[in-house]
Amino acid sequence: MSSAPMSSAPMSSAHPSVAPTAVTARAGGPLRGTVRVPGDKSISHRALILGALTVGRTVITGLLEGDDVLRTVQAMRLLGATVTRTGPGAWTVEGVGVGGFAAPPETLDFGNSGTGCRLVMGAVAGSPVTATFDGDASLRRRPMRRILDPILRMGAEVLAAAEGDRLPIRLAGARDPIPTLYETPVPSAQVKSAVLLAGLSAPGETIVVEREATRDHTERMLAHFGASVRVEPDGPHGRRITLTGQPELSPAPVAVPADPSSAAFPLVAALIVPGSDLVLSGVMTNPLRTGLFATLTEMGASIEPVAVRRDGGEEMADFRVEFSTLRGVEVPAARAPAMIDEYPVLAVAAAFAEGRTVMRGLKELRVKESDRLAATADLLRVNGVAVEIDGDDLIVEGRGRAPGGGLVATHMDHRLAMSALVMGLASEKPVTIDDAGFIATSFPGFLDTMKNLGAEIG
Ligand code: S3P
């Protein structure tokens, strides 16, 4: 890439260095009660971004008020939208319209959030403004080339980037965005969404083809805000998404359902802690997000949907979950996009199952908040569980129990932290994590939520 190198140090924004907080989970009584986990992270980011690209006032309820989403709130403000909190989870966004972002007066700092950063890069690519994107040490390690490739084709320009096209990156949006047909080289809803958001300001049709369908919240929400979006099957597992550019988006209320990726933690905890019986309420059941539910059901889990309903373009249900005897299964690679964030906690469930669980096709896990493939294997290994990585596959030998007793390195990764604590609730010896701080990126209140259900965490 011909952009100027950007050295990390002077661009570094304030990442307050909070001392890491170690937390321990141990086996105790059953988990019981009803819990509504926080709002869906993917939908929360999108509601703020699309609200900012709409002329008029978008009303959002149930927004996830985790660190990741609050970074997107701040980014939308810096780009000129008025974003106001009106009550717990209740927010309004007064948007600036498609292509109407203002040049942000300071760096857009996305902290730990790959989703916020990559989606906003797409949105900025379609506005004639220059913005600097940055994040914490974890986000600075993550690949951005996958976003830059399509948006450069659409007319955006990289003015500066750190080595390897990583953050911090200074990006100039396109004055006259060019519509594109883009086949995503990796199964990534973030890449797809960035292209569609940039395509909003391009004339004519922007088309994304994905070989494996990934979460479709952007497509659904664009339609909810009045854009013309056509989704057609393409190949055995793929989709072709066609967006007509330069729409007048009109404000539409967004009620954010509970996040299935967060529900996964109390769900697996209830399955492995004897005597547990929980209700998880209002959990989104979008089929491109519920691969974990399908896999656990195949493993013998008792997960029963009770009240199924629909709101704001998404489906949701309450789920009753009871302690279950689990057996090992093979999870096909084709299911990975529908449960990409759930493998660490599935690996924990697999340790408590009887027999071998083989999870195939996990290459993308290597570029999450941490190298989640290696870190998940380490999580199990330090707690006495037999585990192996074979190429892109993770293989766990379930023995119906786990010795525990490990200190788990969480690598600035919220999902590893929560998965390890869930493991501690059912292992023979307590499990300790090195830092619970990053849990707040996606599941503020996780420790209290689990304690209220009866978990021994502290
Ligand atoms: C997300 C997409 C996924 C997922 C992330 C949220 C989104 O990332 O891991 O937590 O909201 O679009 P990829 O698109 O990189 O797979």
Which of 340, 366, 370, 372 maximizes ligand 1 atoms within 8 Å of its Cβ, making it the mutation to test the pocket?
340
**Cα gap 120→123, rounded to integer Å:** 5
| pLDDT at res. 3 | 57
Residue-wise pLDDT tens digits, 266-313: 999 999 999 999 999 999 999 999 999 999 999 999 999 998 998 777
6 falls in which pLDDT band (50, 70, 90)? low
Q: How far, in Å, is the centroid of ligand 1 from the Cα of 404?
A: 30
Q: How far is the CA of 32 from the centre of ligand 1 (A)?
A: 31
* The pairing of beta strand 393-399 with beta strand 181-183: unpaired
Predicted local distance difference test score (pLDDT) of residue 5: 66
Among protein residues, the one whose CA lies closest to atom 10 of ligand 1? 341
Q: Which band of pLDDT confidence, cut at 50, 70 and 90, is reported for residue 9?
A: very low
Q: Which atom of ligand 1 is nearest to the CA of 42?
A: 11
**How many angstroms does the Cα of residue 430 sit away from the middle of ligand 1?**
31
Q: Which residues line ligand 1 (CB under 6 A)?
A: 42, 115, 188-190, 193, 215, 340-341, 364
Radius of gyration, CA atoms only, the chain: 21
Q: How far apart are CA 358 and CA 83, in angstroms?
A: 45
Cα(141)–Cα(276) distance, integer angstroms: 39
Band of the pLDDT at 17, cuts 50, 70, 90? low
Q: Which of 71, 145, 186, 190, when mutated, tests ligand 1's pocket best, judged by the most ligand atoms within 8 Å of its CB?
A: 190
Length of the chain equals 458
Average pLDDT score over the chain: 95
Q: Which of ligand 1's atoms lies nearest the C-alpha of 261?
A: 10
Quote the tokens at residue 62: 């149930």
Neighbours of 122 (CB within 10 A): 27
Summarised one tens digit per residue, pLDDT across range 77-113 is: 999 999 999 999 999 999 999 999 999 999 999 999 9
Which single residue is written with the structure tokens 């952007």? 218
Ligand 1 center to 189 CA (angstroms): 6
User: Which protein residue has the closest C-alpha to ligand 1 atom 16?
Assistant: 188
Find out whether 119 and 131 touch, Cβ atoms under 8 Å: no
Q: What is the whole-number distance in angstroms between the Cα of residue 365 and the centre of ligand 1?
A: 11
Contact 69, 116 (CB under 8 A): yes
Distance CA 249, CA 290 (A): 29
pTM of the model: 0.96
**Residue 256: CA atoms inside 13 Å, Cβ hemisphere, count?**
29
Residue position matching structure tokens 């050295």: 7
Cβ neighbours of residue 179 closer than 8 Å, sequence gap 6 or more: 154, 199, 202, 203, 204, 205, 206, 207, 245
Report the atom number in ligand 1 closest to the C-alpha of 188.
14
- Which of 45, 215, 438 should be mutated for ligand 1, with most atoms under 8 A from CB? 215
All domains of the chain, ordered by start, with CATH?
23-35+258-273+286-300+326-457 (3.65.10.10), 41-255 (3.65.10.10)
Residue among 26, 25, 23, 31 at smallest CA distance from 274: 31
Instruction: Locate all alpha helices (DSSP H) within 281-385, ordered by sequence.
Output: 291-298, 343-352, 372-381
Cβ neighbors of 390 (< 8 A, separation 6 or more) are none
Q: Which residues contact 24 (CB under 8 A, 6 or more apart)?
A: 424, 430, 431, 432, 433, 457, 458
- What is the distance, to the nearest Å, from the Cα of residue 407 to the centroid of all Cα atoms in its chain? 25
3-class state of residue 346 by DSSP: helix
Atom 15 of ligand 1: nearest residue by CA position: 188
pLDDT (tens digit, 9 = 90+) per residue, 385-399? 999 999 999 999 999
pLDDT at position 7 over 60: no
| CB-side neighbour CA atoms (13 Å) of 5 | 5
pLDDT in tens, 342-390: 999 999 999 999 999 999 999 999 999 999 999 999 999 999 999 999 9
Residue nearest to atom 9 of ligand 1 (CA): 341
- pLDDT over 70 at 214, yes or no: yes
Q: Give the pair of three-digit tokens for residue 39.
A: 């709002």
Using the atom order of ligand 1, give the atom closest to the CA of residue 364: 16
Q: Which residues are catalytic?
A: 341
